Amino acid sequence: GIRHVDHFGFICRESSGGGGFHFVCYVFQCTNEALVDEIMMTLKQAFTVAAVQQTAKAPAQLCEGCPLQGLHKLCERIE
């Protein structure tokens, strides 16, 4: 994408037989740079939304004995 601005690529994890997975790199060539920019912006938005949804599904696991948790509580009391 840096030298050839009409190209873009990404790496993704794909399932393989038996419950395992492997990583695959996909590289594409578009007709022009503007199309690459639009595709990359769309991919960025999709990954951002997916990350937000994944974070909302998994509640944060807080350990009461964790030093950082204690520091956080101390900062809250000070404020």
> Does pTM surpass 0.85?
no
* Contact (Cβ atoms closer than 8 angstroms) between residue 22 and residue 13: yes
Q: Kindly state the percentage of the chain with pLDDT values over 70.
A: 91
**Quick one: CA dihedral 37, 42, 47, 51, positive or negative?**
positive
> Is pLDDT of 79 > 80?
no
pLDDT, tens only, 37-77: 999 999 999 989 888 888 777 666 667 777 777 777 878 88
Structure-block tokens of residue 34: 């503007």
Place of tokens 């909302």: 56
